């Protein structure tokens, strides 16, 4: 039952927002009593925390699978972007913004976990790109991986990139191209261009 509650709550939180959805809403959607939810979660904050880290773990598992099977680091980054967008395709209520505003401690803990995960995997991907000649061998792998994380979290800031003006898909696609153009070799540029062209046609 705990897993079913997390799954349904995640669906509602991503669609309607962390603030808007009540424990009553979740219970009603599931056709159970609110008391049943409280057996597994002491309060809404505990449920939000469980949902947040469940989503994080699910996305991490998917990213690990992609990293283990991709042809090269450039296609890997695009595959990860498409996976994340597909996984959050019902995200209509700026959950990232709501989490930061209403559950700052959970947001802070999530951001730290995201940094640890992304920093390690991006460093590995960058080094692989250098070793295979698609990224310049002069790049500072540690610095670039930190910059990549900063940019990917920065584009989610609604103050700078309002959702009325930019879709998340556009922001991620544009940032990815911006990031890659700064580090690719001529060989990497051809791979990137071919990939972009073939996926637009």
pLDDT 10s digit of each residue in the chain, 201 long? Answer: 999 999 999 999 988 889 989 999 999 999 999 999 999 999 999 999 999 999 999 989 988 998 888 889 999 988 888 888 777 654 555 777 788 899 999 999 998 998 998 888 899 999 999 999 999 999 999 999 999 999 988 998 888 998 889 988 899 999 999 999 999 999 999 999 998 888 764
CATH topology of domain 44-200: Tetracycline Repressor; domain 2 (1.10.357)
CA 140 centroid distance within chain: 24
User: Quick one: pLDDT at residue 30?
Assistant: 97
Cα four-point dihedral sign 18, 65, 74, 111: positive
pLDDT at 141: 96
pLDDT score at 167: 87
Between CA 85 and CA 70 the distance in angstroms is 18
pLDDT of residue 100: 87
Alpha helices (H) along 21-167: 23-30, 34-40, 44-69, 73-87, 95-102, 104-131, 141-154
What does the pLDDT read at residue 88? 65
What is the predicted pLDDT for the residue at 83?
A: 85
Q: 178: buried, middle or exposed (CB in 10 Å: 19+, 13-18, 0-12)?
A: exposed
Domain boundaries of the chain, sorted by first residue? 44-200
Query: What is the per-residue pLDDT for 153?
Result: 87
Pair of tokens at residue 108: 């802070």
What span, in angstroms and rounded, lies between the C-alpha atoms of 183 and 174? 15
The conformational region for residue 144 under phi > 0 = left, psi -120 to 50 = alpha, else beta, is alpha
pLDDT at residue 52, as a whole number:
95
Measured CA to CA, the distance from residue 110 to residue 112 in angstroms comes to 5
Q: Locate 149 and state its tokens.
A: 């994380």
């Amino acid at each position: 039952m705990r897993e079913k509650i997390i799954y349904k709550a995640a669906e509602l939180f991503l669609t309607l927002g962390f603030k808007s959805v009540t424990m009553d809403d979740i219970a009603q959607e599931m056709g159970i009593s609110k008391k049943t939810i409280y057996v597994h979660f002491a309060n809404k904050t505990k449920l939000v925390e469980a949902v947040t880290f469940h989503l994080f773990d699910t996305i991490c598992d998917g990213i690990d699978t992609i990293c283990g099977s991709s042809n090269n680091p450039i296609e890997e980054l695009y595959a990860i972007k498409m996976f994340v967008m597909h996984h959050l395709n019902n995200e209509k209520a700026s959950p990232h913004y709501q989490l930061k505003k209403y559950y700052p401690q959970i947001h802070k803990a999530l951001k730290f976990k995201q940094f640890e995960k992304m920093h390690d995997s991006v460093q590995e991907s960058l080094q692989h790109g250098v070793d295979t000649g698609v990224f310049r061998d002069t790049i500072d792998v540690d610095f670039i991986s930190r910059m990549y994380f900063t940019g990917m979290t920065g584009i989610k800031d609604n103050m700078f990139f309002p959702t009325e003006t930019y879709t998340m898909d556009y922001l991620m696609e544009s940032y990815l191209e911006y990031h890659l153009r700064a580090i690719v070799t001529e060989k990497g540029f051809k791979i990137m261009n071919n990939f972009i062209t073939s996926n637009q046609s």
